[in-house]
């Protein structure tokens, strides 16, 4: 058995010189080396024909050499071009300053080539080539190739060969440290298998299995360490609600059946509520996944137990919409729902406040108005914040402080880093709604340059309206001023009426309008009395008009990705195919990159992640910034479901063995100490 603590310089095939370079990558011991995981994998397995090659892609082809030529366009530079063909076409391999290649290949040879495709008119050039003769076990092509995070003059090929060398040593077997019980419970592969397959996957499937294990264990160790550091998981006491069979009746009165994901989320929520644990839970579900009805049922559960519930939303329009839909469903069960928003008259407000205080209101829905000091509840049992990312921590806390330890539920489609941190620290449990109601079609997003605006208006808008559908047009965002934004909206309406849609019904909605005006516009839009609704970002979140199928966003480059995603989520809410057109007026690379992310994915989680990435590493949520051990493979966005499982397991382990003193936890404890030693000196595990 080889000791993993061995200094890399004594590992066969490394030596002091290479060791020095490896040290710069943070690799000091053999363990560091085998845990130096690839950053990504390049799939070279996908063998293509020349005719299938696409510009800019990296691909593997199997070709026959036709001819070789060299040229020297200027001093110090020579180019070798190798003409190749397969049965579908011709291509040229291009090598810069690699004169020797001309001696390694002969016309007539069959070779495998992996490289980057450049397609111009009819010529196809392939550069950065890795070339291999046809053998039974190609090394650099036809494989899933690991790509390592590298600097300091270590090449990818070099590290591949070093690690391969190490792993081929028959003496090396990486010892398991997770308890057998956990391996079996979560059907994990062994650490030895995981490490081997993460560096040199025997298949895509094997890589998946290996990654799952590593992600799971990274999260598990992180969670265990954190919870121990925090001195256990605080299980604050909350209200213990009783299960009430009327909830089933309410459920049955809904016009639809819950999706599996909604059902799971609801179960997790009621389980929390019906225990004496204080619920603090996030419902993460993409736009349109149906979070509202889950909130409704949680509130109903609270009211059935004789407590009051509160639901806070970031805009009046959304609060109003929630008010309408909750009243619709819950009033027949005798529940009293009220609305509290800034635009009520003083008299109306006083009236609502009085009733809330006297327990004559069961559910209070509103905006920030809910957290004003004047608002007093009689017995607040549950607090829900919708679109949680739009509120500050203080605002949420203020609402819950209006009761005595009420349960807390927050909802969002696009979590912000702070939320992720809370989840990681175990301060926020998660329910994930990762399923859309049946019959939804994915929204098709198309980004177009401002020059194509005319066409978008003339053809697309009309086509949808003729089909009986409705359209949103969102005006450019003006961060500084709602007034300027409103003015722009008014002007846009004028322009649209004059130049494009004199025959259609165009409505206007902006933040400077009176609440009653906003209301009546939203109602007309819902009732199909308006074909095109021109709006500022006041419709960003929550608004639900399933007949609207086209969203056009002007100057899309001014919006954040999460914001665009929210806006886009206003369409695609019914069974009709929906579209989102992003009109942009910037030629910058960042703009293009952002637009293409929007075109490529409809996944709010992925968009949050990309948004943070583009904004730069400073803002990217990394554990290292928080003084925690680094997550090498695990990614809180991508792997939230695994995090959830690992978190539950960590709680379970510590529940039974709060200082990890049982024999079965001995090795994992060592791993935790090992990982946390740099970050949390004061951790006490003894
Ligand atoms: P979001 O998660 O974005 O808040 P909503 O709660 O507004 O989504 O729901 C979007 C739409 O989906 C609403 O019209 C709602 O009535 C509908 N809906 C929710 N759940 C279901 C379901 N299980 N089956 C069919 N439609 C549903
Ligand atoms: Mg919503």
CATH number at residue 352: 3.40.50.300
More confident residue, 136 or 202: 202
Boundary (domain end) residue, out of 369, 395, 412? 412
Is it the case that residue 392 has pLDDT exceeding 80? no
Residues with CB under 6 A from ligand 1: 256-259, 262, 285, 287-293, 437, 544, 546, 573
* Residue range of the domain that includes 311: 245-275+290-412
Does the residue 567 lie in any domain?
A: yes
Measured by CA distance, the residue closest to atom 17 of ligand 1 is: 290
| Domain containing residue 124: CATH number | 2.40.50.140
Banded pLDDT at 542 (limits 50, 70, 90):
low
Last residue of a domain, one of 601, 620, 652: 601
Q: Specify if 338 maps to a domain.
A: yes
Kindly report the pTM of this predicted structure: 0.77
Q: Residue 312 has what pLDDT?
A: 96
How far apart are the C-alpha atoms of 612 and 609, rounded to whole Å? Answer: 5
In this structure, the dihedral spanned by the alpha carbons of residues 118, 124, 125 and 129, taken in order and rounded to 10 degrees, is: 90
336 by DSSP, 3-state: which? coil
Query: Within 10 A of 637 (CB to CB), how many other CB atoms are there?
Result: 18
Shortest-distance atom of ligand 1 to CA 292: 6
- Identify whether residues 582 and 481 lie together within a single domain: yes
Q: Is residue 661 part of a domain?
A: no
Mean pLDDT, residues 665-680: 79
Same domain, 15 and 65: no
Burial 335-373 (b: 16+ CB within 10 A, else e): bbbbbbbeebeeeebeebbeebeeeebbbbbbbbbbbee
The token pair that represents 348 in the structure block = 């109306």
Amino acid 685: pLDDT: 42
Same domain membership, residue 481 and residue 359: no
Number of domains composing the chain: 4
The confidence score (pLDDT) of residue 137 equals 62
Contacts of 274 (CB under 8 A, 6+ apart): 240, 241, 242, 243, 301
Residue 653 scores a pLDDT above 90: yes
How do residues 490-517 score in pLDDT, each as one tens digit? 998 998 888 889 899 999 998 888 878 8
In a domain, 219, yes or no: no
Same structural domain, 253 and 360: yes
* Strand 89-96 to 110-120 pairing: unpaired
Would you give the distance in Å from CA 253 to the centre of its chain?
33
Distance CA(586)–CA(590), nearest Å, equals 9
Neighbouring C-beta atoms of residue 448, cutoff 10 Å? 16
Element (H, E) at 550: strand 548-553
Give, for ligand 1, the residue of 288, 296, 315, 385 to mutate: max count of ligand atoms closer than 8 Å to Cβ.
288
Cα radius of gyration (the chain): 30
Indicate whether 408 pLDDT > 60: yes
Atom 18 in ligand 1: residue holding the nearest Cα: 290
Q: How far apart are CA 471 and CA 473, in angstroms?
A: 7
For residue 380, the cross-strand partners are 308
Which pLDDT score is estimated for 326? 97
Largest CA distance in the chain: 92
The rounded percent of the chain whose pLDDT value lies above 70 is: 94
Residue 181 lies in a domain: no
366 and 476: one domain?
A: no
The H or E element containing residue 264 is helix 260-273
Listed in sequence order, the residues at least 6 apart from 494 whose beta carbon sits closer than 8 Å to its beta carbon are: none
Q: Of the spans 89-98, 315-324, 348-357, 675-684, which averages the highest pLDDT?
A: 348-357
Helix (H, G, I), strand (E, B) or coil at 636: coil
Residue 190 has pLDDT above 90, yes or no: yes
DSSP state of 499: I
Residue 294: the pLDDT is 98
C-beta separation of 299 from 363 below 8 A: yes
C-alpha to C-alpha distance for 377 and 362, rounded to whole angstroms: 10
Identify whether residues 520 and 550 lie together within a single domain.
yes
Q: What average pLDDT does the segment 381-386 reach?
A: 95
Same domain, 461 and 348: no
- pLDDT tier, 4 (very low <50, low <70, confident <90, very high otherwise): confident
How many Å apart are CA 237 and CA 253, to the nearest integer? 33
Contact 139, 164 (CB under 8 A): no
Query: In this predicted model, which residue has the larger pLDDT, 61 or 627?
Result: 61
- Ligand 1 centroid distance, CA of 639 (Å): 25
Query: Residue whose CA is closest, atom 5 of ligand 1?
Result: 290
For residues 581 and 518, membership in a common domain is answered with: yes
Q: Where are the beta strands (DSSP E) in 374-439?
A: 380-385, 407-412, 429-433
Are 286 and 428 in contact by the 8 Å Cβ rule? The answer is: no
* Pair type for strands 47-48 and 58-74: parallel
Mean pLDDT value across residues 157-165: 85
Same domain? 580 vs 531: yes
Same domain, 30 and 104: no
Q: What is the pLDDT of residue 145?
A: 77
> Are 371 and 490 part of one and the same domain?
no
End-to-end CA distance of the chain: 29
**Residue 573 alpha carbon, nearest atom of ligand 1:** 11
Domain end marker among 553, 574, 601: 601
Structure tokens at 584: 């942009």
pLDDT band at residue 291, thresholds of 50, 70 and 90? very high
User: How confident is the model over 415-473, as pLDDT tens digits?
Assistant: 777 777 788 878 889 999 989 899 888 899 999 999 888 888 888 999 999 999 999 99
User: Looking at the domain assignment, is residue 353 inside a domain?
Assistant: yes
Span 34-43, pLDDT tens digits: 999 888 787 7
588 part of a folded domain: yes
pLDDT tens sequence across 637-649: 888 889 999 999 9
Are 2 and 71 within one domain? Answer: no
Of the chain, the percentage scoring pLDDT greater than 90 comes to: 43
Residue 375 lies in a domain: yes
């Amino acid at each position: 058995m080889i000791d993993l603590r061995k200094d890399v310089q004594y590992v066969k095939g490394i030596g002091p010189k290479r060791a020095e370079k490896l040290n710069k990558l943070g690799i000091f011991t053999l363990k560091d080396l085998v845990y130096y995981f690839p950053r990504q994998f390049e799939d070279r397995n996908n063998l293509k024909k020349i005719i299938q090659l696409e510009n800019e892609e990296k691909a593997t082809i199997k070709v026959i050499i036709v001819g070789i030529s060299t040229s020297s366009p200027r001093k110090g530079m020579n180019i070798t071009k190798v003409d190749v063909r397969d049965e579908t076409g011709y291509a040229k391999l291009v090598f810069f300053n690699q004169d020797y290649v001309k001696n390694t290949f002969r016309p007539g040879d069959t070779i495998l080539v992996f490289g980057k495709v450049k397609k111009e008119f009819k010529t196809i050039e392939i550069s950065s080539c890795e070339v291999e003769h046809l053998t039974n076990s190609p090394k650099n092509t036809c494989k899933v190739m690991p790509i390592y995070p590298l600097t300091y003059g270590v090449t990818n090929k070099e590290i591949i060969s070093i690690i391969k060398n190490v792993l081929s040593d028959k003496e090396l077997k990486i010892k398991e440290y997770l308890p057998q019980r956990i391996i079996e419970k979560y059907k994990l592969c062994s650490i030895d298998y995981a490490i081997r397959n993460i560096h040199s996957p025997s298949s895509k499937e094997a890589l998946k299995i290996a990654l799952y294990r590593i992600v799971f264990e990274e999260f598990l160790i992180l969670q265990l360490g954190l919870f121990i550091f925090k001195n256990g998981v605080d299980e604050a006491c909350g209200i213990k609600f009783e299960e009430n069979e009327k909830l089933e009746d309410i459920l049955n009165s809904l016009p639809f059946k819950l999706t599996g994901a909604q059902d799971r989320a609801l179960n997790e929520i009621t389980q929390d509520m019906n225990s004496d644990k204080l619920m603090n839970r996030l419902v993460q579900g993409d736009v349109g996944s149906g979070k509202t009805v889950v909130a409704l049922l949680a509130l109903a559960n609270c009211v059935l137990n004789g407590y009051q519930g509160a639901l806070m939303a970031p805009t009046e329009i959304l609060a109003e919409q929630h008010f309408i839909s909750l009243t619709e469903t819950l009033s027949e069960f005798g529940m009293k729902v009220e609305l509290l928003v800034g635009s009520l008259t003083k008299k109306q407000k006083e009236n609502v406040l009085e009733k809330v205080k006297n327990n004559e209101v069961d559910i209070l829905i509103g905006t920030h108005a809910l957290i004003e000091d004047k608002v007093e509840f009689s017995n607040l049992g549950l607090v829900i914040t919708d679109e949680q990312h739009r509120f500050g921590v203080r605002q949420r806390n203020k609402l819950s402080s209006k009761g005595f330890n009420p349960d807390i539920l927050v909802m969002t489609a696009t979590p912000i880093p702070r939320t992720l941190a809370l989840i990681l620290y175990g301060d926020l449990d998660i329910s994930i709604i990762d399923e859309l109601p049946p019959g939804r079609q994915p929204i098709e997003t198309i980004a177009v340059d401002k020059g194509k605006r005319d066409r978008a208006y003339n053809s697309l808008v009309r086509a949808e309206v003729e089909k009986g559908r409705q359209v949103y047009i969102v005006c450019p965002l003006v961060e500084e001023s709602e007034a300027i934004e409103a003015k722009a909206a008014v002007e846009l309406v004028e322009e649209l009426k004059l130049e494009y849609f004199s025959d259609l019904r165009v409505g206007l909605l902006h933040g400077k309008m009176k609440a009653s005006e906003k209301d009546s516009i939203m109602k007309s839009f819902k009732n199909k009395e308006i074909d095109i609704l021109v709006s500022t970002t006041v419709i960003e979140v929550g608004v639900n008009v399933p007949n609207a199928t086209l969203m056009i966003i002007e100057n899309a480059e001014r919006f954040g990705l999460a914001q665009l995603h929210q806006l886009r989520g206003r369409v695609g809410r019914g069974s009709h195919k929906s579209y989102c057109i992003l009109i942009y007026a910037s030629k910058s690379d960042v703009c293009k990159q952002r637009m293409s992310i929007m075109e490529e994915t409809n996944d709010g989680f992925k968009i949050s992640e990309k948004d943070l990435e583009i904004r730069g590493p400073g803002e990217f949520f990394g554990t290292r910034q928080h003084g925690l051990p680094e997550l090498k493979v695990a990614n809180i966005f991508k792997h939230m479901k695994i995090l959830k499982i690992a978190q539950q397991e960590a709680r379970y382990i510590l529940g039974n063995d709060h200082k990890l003193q049982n024999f079965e936890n001995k090795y994992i404890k060592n791993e935790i100490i090992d990982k946390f030693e740099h970050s949390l000196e004061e951790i006490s595990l003894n």
